[in-house]
Structure 1
């Protein structure tokens, strides 16, 4: 379904009935990443998947898409659907957007799940990597995007999930150059929202991979010290919803029910 936000289209899907679950994809992904998990969750719940700004079938609205602006677009969809209380699950960049919504509207959140994501802002090293990627992608977009996808998996899994990786590459290439750069610029300037893990009224869970090439698992564990956050440790990389699909589904269903 298509909805207008700031005179630009936002794509979302809405399936099932019951408790609302909002699923937010990561960088270079789109709502199709939930194609296996969403129908299973929708057997007992109402599941809304949204293409974030500059991804999938949602348009770009600027040269920088801050996490706040992405959260504005999500709110537009939720207001249109008249959904006030919900669980929200964000993979990677989607987790950054979910955190913004949780900070803004804590009374609306029934539960927050960060999957292969973090409350911490970019380190100087990560910002430098993003800056380099932005310069390289302007010269050879397809090569950088396709290489980036395979590198998100645990190396031992690249052959096992070769078909999924190829599909993800094709979906990633649907993200226009402007969407790539705008999201990178937005992630560079996101705020530290670590406080939400310590002082917030809703349930919280973080799912992380021991061999995630993007996020240091030690940092994730450190963030959750002296909190009531449920930590789910998985053995693989950054793409837990593919590399550890059955475990992720089980944890989500248990968390929501």
Structure 2
């Protein structure tokens, strides 16, 4: 049977949700040092990694229900949820329904805002491209621009890893989750009403979550910590591993004491 999660370390719990065309493996090296202080769980979201059988609904709400089900099975009562990109959208859907389970929330290159009309149109074009040309051709062009240009040569291994992960993703998962991201609602009200602290990690060179969109939301929670990273695109866990890991560690220590 496929293993759709990793669970290591002990203590207060950090739960990591990967982004679009990624898997739990994106967190493997990143989370390891955190396991000296915390229990870290990384999940394969429905349709991705080893979690690809019998998926019919790719909505952010459905994925959030899956996360809830897995956390119940793993006997997690409360946690800090760390969501990268699409994983952040899932985290926001989770927070909308299960806020009492959250000690804190980290939007890691992610957003509570809905897609703009332009971005929705781009999602539609991407769906058409994948349908027409297939997953491999899409992944060859999709991954590299997520990294800040100056980081691409030195992070070639990481780029290849991301491409390979994406190529192994079923076409239905890619088109289904693109449509689900396109259709997700505005959840900035969840940030405004949050009774838990929120950590924002943004790359200053991130084309997926532009700086103006970052600034629109990072002040909304009653209690927020914000990290803006220069010379960083959309993949801070690779581009600025030390700084992003330290930010999460400090955030968790502030919450758990």
TM-score normalised to structure 2 length:
0.94
Displacement of 1:137 in angstroms is: 0.8
Q: How does 1:232-243 map to 2 (within 5 A)?
A: 232-235=227-230, 236-243=232-239
How far apart, in 1, do the equivalents of 2:163 and 2:58 lie?
A: 22
Secondary structure at the residue paired with 2:143? helix
Match of 1:164 among 158, 162, 166: 158
Is the Cα–Cα contact under 8 Å of residues 154 and 213 in structure 1 kept in the other structure?
A: no
Q: How does 1:180-219 map to 2 (within 5 A)?
A: 180-219=174-213
Runs of 5+ consecutive residues of structure 2 not aligned to the other structure: none
Secondary structure at the residue paired with 1:34? helix
How far apart, in 1, do the equivalents of 2:3 and 2:242 lie?
A: 30
Displacement of 1:225 in angstroms is: 3.1
Runs of 5+ consecutive residues of structure 1 not aligned to the other structure: 3-8
Is the Cα–Cα contact under 8 Å of residues 152 and 237 in structure 1 kept in the other structure?
A: yes
Does the alignment pair 1:136 with 2:129?
A: yes
Note closer, same or farther for the CA distance 1:226–1:164 as it changes in structure 2 (3 Å cut): closer
Q: How does 1:1-257 map to 2 (within 5 A)?
A: 11-59=4-52, 61-62=54-55, 64-141=57-134, 142-225=136-219, 227=221, 228-235=223-230, 236-257=232-253
Note closer, same or farther for the CA distance 1:64–1:80 as it changes in structure 2 (3 Å cut): closer
Q: Which has the higher helix share?
A: 2
TM-score normalised to structure 1 length:
0.94
Deviations 1:72-129 (CA, angstroms, capped at 9, x unpaired): 1111110111111101000000000111111111111001000000000111111110
Displacement of 1:240 in angstroms is: 0.8
Secondary structure at the residue paired with 1:191? coil
| Displaced runs of 4 or more, over 6 A | none
Displacement of 1:10 in angstroms is: 6.9
How far apart, in 2, do the equivalents of 1:63 and 1:53 lie?
A: 9
RMSD, aligned α-carbons: 1.4
For these two proteins, the number of residue pairs brought into alignment is 250
How far apart, in 1, do the equivalents of 2:41 and 2:220 lie?
A: 32
